[in-house]
């Protein structure tokens, strides 16, 4: 088990609504990345937060936004939900700022979002 | 951007046999290659990783090899057990400003029959 936690576990929303997902990073980790995993696919990078600022973004529209807090926990917000947003949303934490060396990323259990 | 391809998509082996999963990547700047195991209803679990300055790494029954010239890397599981059954993902990343954005393959469903 990693020290990464996510809430809620499951969520059902209606198209057009907004949703907020939460992630607590592993102790000592200052970087959080969010991924979307559609059924039967590998995770796709949404964005990353390092020291409370967005530090890279994948091919996702602006209605996907995020925050990172001083304790390094993070939120993912999705506005104007679409049916295709139904997926498992994963966060991963790592220790950043190590001279550009990629650190191991540890994933949480995910939030299963269903949009109807 | 990086493109990671993974084969096979499904793999069935008898308990005690070996399993091999192969991945290729396109970005020669990628220098970090982790493997994740994902069980049903859970998040991906890091099982082993390798960096570009190493050709092979082993951890008990699991080993990973990397061929930088050919841009491919492989996961080897020996003496498979039913609890090894899961979906396995390879990924590639590089350092620099984006602190380890991972590009994943599509996954391999490994089934180990007792």
Q: What is the mean pLDDT of residues A3-25?
A: 96
Closest CA to A93 of A27, A42, A43, A19: A27
Contact A109 B42 (CB under 8 A): yes
pLDDT attached to residue B96? 59
Q: In sequence order, what are the residues at sequence separation of 6 or more whose Cβ sits closer than 8 angstroms to the Cβ of residue B69?
A: none
**% residues pLDDT > 90 (chain A):** 74
**Chain B residue with minimal CA distance to A47?**
B101
Closest CA to A4 of A89, A112, A110: A110
Contact A43 B102 (CB under 8 A): yes
pLDDT grade, residue B1 (50/70/90)?
confident
A50 touches chain B (CB under 8 A): yes
pLDDT attached to residue B14? 98
Between chain A and chain B, the number of residue pairs with CB atoms below 8 A apart is 82
Q: What is the mean pLDDT of residues A63-73?
A: 95
Sign of CA dihedral B107, A81, A20, A68: positive
State the nearest Cα–Cα gap between B8 and chain A, in angstroms.
Answer: 14
pLDDT attached to residue A70? 92
pLDDT attached to residue B11? 98
| Cα B2 from Cα B27, distance rounded (Å) | 5
Contact A58 B101 (CB under 8 A): yes
Peptide bond into B8 cis (omega under 30): yes
B2 interaction partners in chain A (CB closer than 8 Å):
none
| pLDDT tens column, B53-105 | 889 999 999 999 999 999 999 999 999 999 999 999 999 998 655 567 899 99
- Residue of A94, A105, A111 to mutate, testing the B interface (most B Cβ within 10 Å of its Cβ): A105
Among the partner-chain residues A42, A45, A105, the one whose CB lies closest to the CB of B107 is A42
pLDDT attached to residue A43? 97
pLDDT attached to residue A73? 94
pLDDT grade, residue A14 (50/70/90)?
very high
- DSSP 3-state of B38: strand
pLDDT attached to residue A102? 65
| Cα A98 from Cα B99, distance rounded (Å) | 9
| Cα B29 from Cα A39, distance rounded (Å) | 29
A60 touches chain B (CB under 8 A): no
Cβ proximity of B76 and B64 under 8 Å: yes
A106 interaction partners in chain B (CB closer than 8 Å):
46
Contact A41 B99 (CB under 8 A): no
Helix residue spans in chain B (DSSP H): none
Q: What beta strand segments (E) does A25-110 contain?
A: 31-37, 44-50, 53-57, 64-68, 74-78, 87-94, 106-107
| pLDDT tens column, A85-112 | 999 999 999 876 655 566 788 999 999 9
CA B29 and chain centroid, separation: 18
Q: What is the mean pLDDT of residues A38-65?
A: 93
pLDDT attached to residue B104? 97
Sign of CA dihedral A4, B94, B51, A41: positive
Q: What is the mean pLDDT of residues B14-36?
A: 96
pLDDT grade, residue A55 (50/70/90)?
confident
Contact A2 B101 (CB under 8 A): no
Q: Is the pLDDT of residue B41 over 80?
A: yes
| pLDDT tens column, B46-62 | 999 998 888 999 999 99
Closest CA to A82 of A10, A8, A14, A9: A14
């Amino acid at each position: 088990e990693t020290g990464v936690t996510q809430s809620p576990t499951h969520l059902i929303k209606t198209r057009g609504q907004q949703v907020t997902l939460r992630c607590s990073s592993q102790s000592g980790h200052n970087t959080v990345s969010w991924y979307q995993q559609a059924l039967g696919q590998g995770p796709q990078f949404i964005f990353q937060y390092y020291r409370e600022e967005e530090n890279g973004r994948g091919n996702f529209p602006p209605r996907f936004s995020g925050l990172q807090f001083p304790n390094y926990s993070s939120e993912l917000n999705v506005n104007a939900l679409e049916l295709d947003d139904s997926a498992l949303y994963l966060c991963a934490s790592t220790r950043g700022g190590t001279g550009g060396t990629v650190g191991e990323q540890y994933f949480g259990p995910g939030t299963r979002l269903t949009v109807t | 951007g990086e493109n990671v391809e993974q084969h096979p998509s499904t793999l069935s082996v008898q308990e005690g046999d070996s399993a091999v999963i192969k991945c290729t990547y396109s970005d020669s700047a990628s220098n970090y290659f982790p493997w994740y195991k994902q069980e049903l209803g859970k998040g991906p679990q890091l099982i082993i990783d390798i960096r570009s300055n190493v050709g092979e790494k082993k951890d008990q029954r699991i080993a990973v090899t990397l061929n930088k010239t050919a841009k491919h890397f492989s996961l080897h599981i020996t003496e498979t057990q039913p609890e090894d059954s899961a979906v396995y993902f390879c990924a590639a990343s590089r350092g620099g400003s984006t602190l380890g954005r991972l590009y994943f393959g599509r996954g391999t469903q490994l089934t180990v029959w007792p």
